[in-house]
């Protein structure tokens, strides 16, 4: 099988290395070698391409007669999307790590692949080296998925882990991540939760047959999480993770990315540094968890290689069996979750009672609370509570009411709590 | 696709239920339904078989013209092995959960399946509902596996978890497991590590291409682990788990099942109760971990269903690409590991120094130790040490030398330490 590789970044370099290192395994498993016929990239880097032909003309890869499968590792949307479409239209199978184009155009691309009778391999698009796409679309294909909960952005997890382990502030932790090469110079795509939202849109489409639609995901990033929040959360038995969650309820499909308190005993609470993990709940096995490196050239290339091996062997392409189902999306206002509330108050007698009354008036029960001893009267201290689950809209109204209390001297901070994380 | 099911126990019942509950998903994913044409079992239980024909004649399933695929869920070896062989010989694909026959006859069965051009699906044979066979044989098929480390016996993990959480003794924890239905009336197969050894033999064959050979696995069970060991291990930063480990070294392939100290921060340390987990280290992704239910009718049936869906779709059967490789097995005496030593001594001045000297004379460094304050002179107290890794044979000689010390008044207890568990 001959492949054409578009892009020459970390993942492409990892793939070229693995194809060489694992040559023997590949032949043994596929019954044939996987040869790189051509590499195309807008910039030529100093990388050993073996015998592969190099070109700056990425688009031309799709029509080469000496290429059976196109591997799209350019990233970005414009040229990458055109290449993938063109390759599929020319009857070539495609393997891509490009979450952005999948999260926006996945349905059209899978329809095109099916119409041309070729494969579209997307294992590398979510969670790097963890074979979670294979789990959803092959091993669990016939199971009813109930919920997918993931730590799917390694940069955010690294920062939250550093804040938790070293008590670092957000800015310091981000600087450290940037120094170690774990965060981009412009970190907004990761920190703002956008990268995780793209991946979650893909997981939701595969799990529930909803359209690939990154715009349907509620997104809140981690920039507002403070070391104090992490300390209070720990005191209450939780850590804080950026989670992507998609869930099927009787009322519709939830799709959301936001920081969340996770019980310390949960497996997801043990996922540290740049590692990723995806938990899949379904009607046959209950909860399964898949853990591993969510980024890195070799790890992501491993997922590209898995798709290539599957195509070379002649496996059937994955199917989006339910993609015609018009599932209802659940509006965020209707999503039920518990909340951690950090309420900065001027400490006066009766302030905790007033807060508890407001929550109670909104039908919200308190599960746990931290109220520091009063050191100096009229000093600014936070009251921290963890609530029982209520619909988002109810919590929003309650927070507005708390915010209006005269004793509340700063912004009330709300972080959702996910007890279902296992 | 029409299947014949042999056996009518928990897994078979789970499969019949899932085939009904997930009927829509199955058709969507396979393009056809999976129908149960016949069920055969030596005993007829009160189970709704839908329209399937029931028979007591298990062997006759293999030759039925109305059955495309045989699902062997009888367990045991004689009749089950005959059925699987006969079905493959008659050109029928087989799906089995039977670790015992695979761990002894896997090579012959896969050779037979390949010769007849049919599939042998074995996902359900290891780690219940966790798709770890698919990971090894599909997603990671072209990677060089370095090590597989598993918590692959839920009964032992439940008992060790109960001993750890509740300070229960082994016998009490076992009784509780039996009351809850997690342990057999005769628990020796689980407690002695035999069940885990069968599963490890399968994992080793798939990871390294060594012959399926349960007798090649070094086995030590959990019956000698005491609540004291668990307490001392925790004090030193570890928990105790029954691990199955297979590893490729320059000198040969390790295959071993034994209790082991696992660092408390490792993901494997968070695997509690009847849950299983398998960690796969390889040259592309580093460490991956798969976590989920290792037993139970529905969970194990999920893995059977995954194999059936793959066959119904027309995927290529998994290949034992390297099964002709004659890999050297590393004798246990040459395996390197660190050790926890609990040394019961009569507390006399200088006894710790004598122990340290013996270890040092054998080239063994001490990494951590617990030496209680002397309460009463000549009282029996344990000295506990954790060592650096040395070959098994060296440790065995050192333990014999320690045992010969006059101050050592009872058996020295040794438990291996696995720092590589992640």
pLDDT in tens, B364-388: 999 999 987 655 656 778 999 999 9
Where b means 16+ CB within 10 Å and e means fewer, B240-254 reads bbbbbbbbbeeebbb
Question: Do A305 and B284 lie within an 8 Å CB cutoff?
Answer: yes
Question: Which of B20, B34, B110, B142 best probes binding to A when mutated, by most A CB atoms within 10 angstroms?
Answer: B142
Question: Do A319 and B28 lie within an 8 Å CB cutoff?
Answer: yes
C-alpha distances out from residue B149 to A67, B288, B327, B419, Å: 39, 10, 19, 11
Beta bridge mates, B275:
B293
A327 touches chain B (CB under 8 A): no
Range with the poorest average pLDDT among A285-289, B49-53, B160-164, B396-400: B49-53
pLDDT at position B64 over 80:
yes
Question: Do B26 and A283 lie within an 8 Å CB cutoff?
Answer: no
pLDDT at position B211 over 70:
yes
pLDDT band, residue B47 (cuts 50/70/90): confident
CATH superfamily of this structure's domain B141-291: Dihydrodipicolinate Reductase; domain 2 (3.30.360.10)
Strands B413-417 and B380-387: unpaired
Q: Are A84 and A101 in contact (CB under 8 A)?
A: yes
Residues from chain A that touch B131, judged by Cβ atoms under 8 A, are 134-135, 139-140, 288
pLDDT for the residue numbered B372: 72
Name the CATH code of domain B335-417 (choices 3.50.50.60, 3.40.1280.10, 3.30.70.260, 3.40.640.10).
3.30.70.260
Question: Do B316 and A315 lie within an 8 Å CB cutoff?
Answer: yes
Contacts of A137 (CB under 8 A, 6+ apart): A206, A318, A319
The catalytic residues of B are 199
Q: How far is A277 from chain B (nearest CA, A)?
A: 9
pLDDT in tens, A323-370: 445 678 899 999 999 999 999 998 778 899 999 999 999 999 999 999
Average pLDDT of chain A, as a whole number: 94
pLDDT for the residue numbered B347: 76
Domain parsing of chain A, residue ranges: 2-125, 135-293, 335-417
Which residue ranges of chain A lie beneath pLDDT 50? 323-324
Question: Do A291 and B288 lie within an 8 Å CB cutoff?
Answer: yes
Nearest residue of A to residue B134, measured between CA atoms: A139
Architecture of domain A135-293: 2-Layer Sandwich (3.30)
Instruction: Just give the CATH number of B2-125.
Output: 3.40.50.720
Which pTM was predicted?
0.96
Q: Are B129 and B154 in contact (CB under 8 A)?
A: no
User: Mean pLDDT, to the nearest integer, of B30-40?
Assistant: 96
């Amino acid at each position: 099988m001959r492949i054409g590789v578009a892009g020459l970044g970390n993942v492409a370099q990892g793939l070229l290395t693995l194809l060489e290192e694992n040559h023997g395994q590949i032949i043994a498993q596929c019954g044939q070698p996987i040869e790189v016929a051509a590499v195309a990239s807008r910039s030529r880097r100093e990388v050993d391409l073996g015998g592969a032909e190099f070109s700056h003309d990425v688009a031309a890869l799709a029509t080469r007669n000496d290429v059976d499968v196109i591997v799209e590792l350019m990233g970005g949307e414009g040229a990458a999307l055109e290449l993938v479409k063109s390759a599929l239209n020319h009857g070539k199978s495609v393997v891509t790590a490009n979450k952005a184009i999948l999260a926006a155009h996945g349905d059209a691309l899978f329809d095109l692949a099916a119409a041309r009778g070729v494969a579209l391999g997307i294992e590398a698009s979510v969670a790097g080296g963890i074979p979670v796409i294979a789990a959803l679309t092959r091993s669990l294909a016939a199971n009813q998925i109930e919920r997918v909960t993931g730590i799917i952005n390694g940069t955010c997890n690294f920062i939250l882990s550093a804040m938790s382990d070293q008590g670092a502030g957000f800015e310091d932790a981000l600087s450290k991540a940037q120094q170690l090469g774990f965060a981009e110079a412009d970190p907004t795509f990761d920190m703002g939760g956008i990268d995780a939202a793209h991946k979650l849109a893909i997981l939701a489409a595969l799990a529930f047959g909803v359209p690939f639609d990154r715009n349907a995901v509620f997104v809140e990033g981690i920039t507002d999480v403070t070391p104090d929040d992490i300390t209070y959360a720990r005191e209450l038995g939780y850590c804080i993770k950026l989670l992507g969650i998609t869930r099927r309820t009787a009322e519709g499909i939830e799709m959301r990315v936001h920081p969340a308190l996770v019980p310390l005993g949960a497996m997801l609470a043990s996922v540290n540094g740049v590692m990723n993990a995806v938990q899949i709940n379904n009607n046959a096995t209950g909860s399964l968890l898949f853990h591993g490196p969510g980024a890195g050239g070799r790890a992501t290339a491993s997922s590209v290689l898995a798709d290539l091996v599957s195509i070379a062997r002649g496996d059937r392409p994955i199917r989006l069996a339910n993609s015609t189902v018009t599932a209802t999306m659940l509006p965020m206002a209707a999503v039920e979750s518990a909340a951690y509330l950090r309420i900065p108050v001027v400490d006066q007698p009766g302030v905790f009672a007033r807060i508890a009354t407001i929550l109670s008036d909104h039908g919200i029960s308190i599960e746990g609370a931290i109220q520091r001893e009063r050191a100096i009267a009229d000093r600014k201290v936070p009251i921290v509570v963890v609530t029982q689950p209520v619909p988002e809209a109810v919590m929003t109204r309650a927070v507005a009411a708390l915010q209006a209390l005269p004793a509340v001297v700063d912004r009330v901070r709300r972080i959702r709590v996910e007890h279902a994380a296992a």
